[in-house]
Amino acid sequence: MSTQPPEDRTRQAVRPVSDDELETYWADGVVKLPGFVSASLVDTITAALDTQIQNPSRWGGTGKQRSDRCFGLQQEPLRRYLLDDTLGHNAARAMRSPSANFFFDHMFLFEPDAPVDGHYWHQDLPYWPVEGDHIVSFWLSLTSCSPESAALKFVPGSHASGFYRPKSFDGSELDGDLGERAALAIDASNEFLDEEPPAFHDDPERYGVLEFSYEPGDAVMFNTRVVHSSGGNRSKDARRLAYSVRFFGQDARHTLRRGVFQDPALLPHEDEPFAVGAPMQSRSWPQVYP
Ligand SMILES: O=C(O)CCC(=O)C(=O)O
8 A C-beta contact, residue 261 and residue 176: yes
8 A C-beta contact, residue 159 and residue 223: yes
Q: Give the pLDDT confidence score for residue 5 in this predicted structure.
A: 47
Q: Give the pLDDT confidence score for residue 249 in this predicted structure.
A: 98
Beta pairing, strands 114-115 & 240-248: unpaired
Give 173 or 22, the one with higher predicted confidence.
Answer: 22
pLDDT value at 10 more than 50 = no
In the predicted model, what is the mean pLDDT of the chain?
Answer: 92
- For residue 131, being part of any structural domain is answered with yes
For ligand 1, the distance from its centroid to the CA atom of residue 4, given in whole angstroms, is 34
pTM, two decimals, is 0.94
- For residue 289, being part of any structural domain is answered with no
User: Does any ligand 1 atom lie closer than 6 A to the CB of residue 139?
Assistant: yes
**SS3 call for 164:** coil
For ligand 1, the distance from its centroid to the CA atom of residue 145, given in whole angstroms, is 13
pLDDT value at 235 more than 60 = yes
- For residue 6, being part of any structural domain is answered with no
Q: Give the pLDDT confidence score for residue 221 in this predicted structure.
A: 98
pLDDT value at 227 more than 90 = yes
Q: Give the pLDDT confidence score for residue 190 in this predicted structure.
A: 87
**Total of domains in the chain:** 1
Q: Give the integer Cα–Cα distance in Å for 206 and 91.
A: 30
Instruction: Say which amino acid occupies 171.
Output: G
User: Does any ligand 1 atom lie closer than 6 A to the CB of residue 106?
Assistant: yes
User: Does any ligand 1 atom lie closer than 6 A to the CB of residue 65?
Assistant: no
Assign residue 29 a region (left: φ > 0; alpha: ψ between -120 and 50; beta: otherwise).
left
- For residue 230, being part of any structural domain is answered with yes
Q: Give the pLDDT confidence score for residue 172 in this predicted structure.
A: 63
Can you give the CATH number for the domain in which 251 is found? Answer: 2.60.120.620
Q: Give the integer Cα–Cα distance in Å for 113 and 134.
A: 36
- For residue 11, being part of any structural domain is answered with no
Task: Count CB neighbours of 54 within 10 A.
Answer: 7
DSSP string across 4-68: S-HHHHHHTTBPPPPHHHHHHHHHHSEEEETT-B-HHHHHHHHHHHHHHHHS--TT---SSEEEE
Residue 22's φ and ψ, nearest 5 degrees, are: -65, -40
8 A C-beta contact, residue 152 and residue 230: yes
Q: Give the integer Cα–Cα distance in Å for 116 and 223.
A: 24
User: Does any ligand 1 atom lie closer than 6 A to the CB of residue 124?
Assistant: yes
**SS3 call for 110:** strand
- For residue 1, being part of any structural domain is answered with no
pLDDT value at 211 more than 50 = yes
Look up the domain containing 207 and give its range: 20-54+61-283
Q: Give the integer Cα–Cα distance in Å for 215 and 212.
A: 10
- For residue 265, being part of any structural domain is answered with yes
Q: Give the integer Cα–Cα distance in Å for 17 and 220.
A: 11
Give 169 or 46, the one with higher predicted confidence.
Answer: 46
For ligand 1, the distance from its centroid to the CA atom of residue 106, given in whole angstroms, is 8
pLDDT value at 288 more than 50 = yes
Confidence label for 110 from pLDDT (cuts 50, 70 and 90): very high
- For residue 39, being part of any structural domain is answered with yes
For ligand 1, the distance from its centroid to the CA atom of residue 139, given in whole angstroms, is 7
Q: Helices 85-95 and 19-28 meet at what angle, rounded to 10? A: 50
pLDDT value at 2 more than 80 = no
User: Does any ligand 1 atom lie closer than 6 A to the CB of residue 152?
Assistant: yes
Residue 131 has, within 13 A of its CA and on its CB side, a CA count of 13
Q: Give the pLDDT confidence score for residue 38 in this predicted structure.
A: 96
pLDDT, average across residues 110-130: 92
Tens-place pLDDT, residues 176-203: 788 889 999 999 888 899 888 899 999 9
